[in-house]
Structure 1
Amino acid sequence: MALAVLVFVVVAGLSGLGVWYFGRDGGTAGAASPSVGADVKPVAPGSGRPTTAGPGPGPTSSPSPSPTPAVPSGYRVLHDPVGYTLDVPQGWTRRQVQGEKAPVVYYDSPSDGRQLQIFALSEDTPAQSLDLAENDPGYGYAKQPGFRAGQRTSGDTWAELSYRYDDADKGPRQVVDHRFQAADGTLYAVRSSGPESLAAALVRAPLTAAVDSFCPTGARCS
């Protein structure tokens, strides 16, 4: 009986020693290390959820670049020397004049009389700039012959007015004047115009493409 008790005590002691030995690499004596599933990766600092399934990036991997928006059919990407990138209809010709406060860039259609006009603004907000452009007693385009305002729309960082007037050389014209804050904080105007006889969508399309793609040189644009 005494011999049996002695054997039991020795075996129990060796078992306890084994548990302590296998548990000490986890940092807590006697605690079992948690297992990590093969389809779960560690959560990076600041990320909202763990990454699951698939191989993780290597130590020298860099994030994948964001996809570049497709250029609309019939347009091309232009890096204008004034200091911005935008999409312009293919075949349109560029010219530049010096305005009172900033260079004014024109892109002209050689076939149907449409035109884009781009320049930087000096006012505090797009809405303020658009109001002055329309109503200033010295140069406001509300004084142009046959002026008639159309739709007015605006947002937190942009303002827009469509209107028509009678040009002394080109005849009845329709205009969409869009003023906005670019990615670098600078305010710009993009004006699209064309003969009043054209469908309004044809006059708006170049403006939409230009504004959607507009990016000042050196700025990070979505």
Structure 2
Amino acid sequence: MVGRGDDPRPDPKPTGTSASPTATPTSTPTPTPTATPSPTGGELPSDYREVTDVAGFTIAVPDGWDRSESEQGVFYKSSDESSLIQVFTITEPDTAPLASLRAASKTLSGKNPGYEEVSLAETTAPDGASEAVTDDAAELVYAYDSEKLGARRKVIDFAFTAQDGTQYAVLVAGPDAEWPAQRDRLTTVLSRFRPSG
């Protein structure tokens, strides 16, 4: 699927590029991750659960979302596939989060119809993020015309260095008409983020 419009963030390989959310990854769904009890610091919204993913991280995901995994990372998708969460490690050596997202935006602009970079900047961990999410972070917000959905999609791609030194990207996508639901979802996902591998 990489290379076509409506793709998740491109293959996280040492190319300095990133991906855009889109079509269903070409992979077999994997077993459902284990639900774990919430830590004592703060309650999750009633329609979320905390999962420890077999890929080596813990996050909060909406109830009823299905997990799959491909070369582009781990995906959690709504039943109608209009919204998704994508998590992967950034494997490019010596690449800061902002540089990774700048390269992603350049790649995405050539792949996705109607691509618009809304914002790209260094940032800090959002309020409510777990302690594993450091302030070495950047955020790309973009929109594009999803051929699969037949509608405009808006995406937040949040890249950061975790406390263990690993760089991650957490991408949250949904219909443009539902903005800022993506922002709220990202905050909830990151509230439980921690490496677990």
Which residue, out of 189, 192, 197, partners 1:213?
Answer: 192
- Give the paired residue count: 144
Larger RCO (CA under 8 A, 6+ residues apart): 2
TM-score by length of 1: 0.60
- Deviation (angstroms), 1:91: 0.9
User: Counterpart amino acid of 1:84?
Assistant: F
1:117 and 2:99 matched: no
Indicate the RMSD between aligned Cα atoms, in angstroms: 1.8
Which residue, out of 108, 125, 128, partners 1:141?
Answer: 108
- Deviation (angstroms), 1:111: 4.3
Q: Kindly name which structure, 1 or 2, has the bigger radius of gyration based on alpha carbons.
A: 1
Larger strand fraction of residues: 2
Whether the 8 Å contact between 1:152 and 1:161 is mirrored in structure 2 is: yes
Could you tell me how far apart the structure 2 residues matched to 1:69 and 1:183 are? Answer: 20
1:73 and 2:46 matched: yes
1:87 and 2:50 matched: no
Unaligned runs of at least 5 residues, structure 1: 1-65
User: Counterpart amino acid of 1:154?
Assistant: E
Could you tell me how far apart the structure 2 residues matched to 1:183 and 1:209 are? Answer: 18
- Deviation (angstroms), 1:134: 1.1
- Deviation (angstroms), 1:211: 1.8
Whether the 8 Å contact between 1:182 and 1:214 is mirrored in structure 2 is: no
TM-score by length of 2: 0.68
- Deviation (angstroms), 1:72: 2.6
Larger helix fraction of residues: 1
1:179 and 2:159 matched: yes
Whether the 8 Å contact between 2:83 and 2:172 is mirrored in structure 1 is: yes
Q: Deviations over 1:154-185 (max 9, x none)?
A: 23500001111112212321111111111211
Unaligned runs of at least 5 residues, structure 2: 1-38, 124-134
User: Counterpart amino acid of 1:151?
Assistant: S
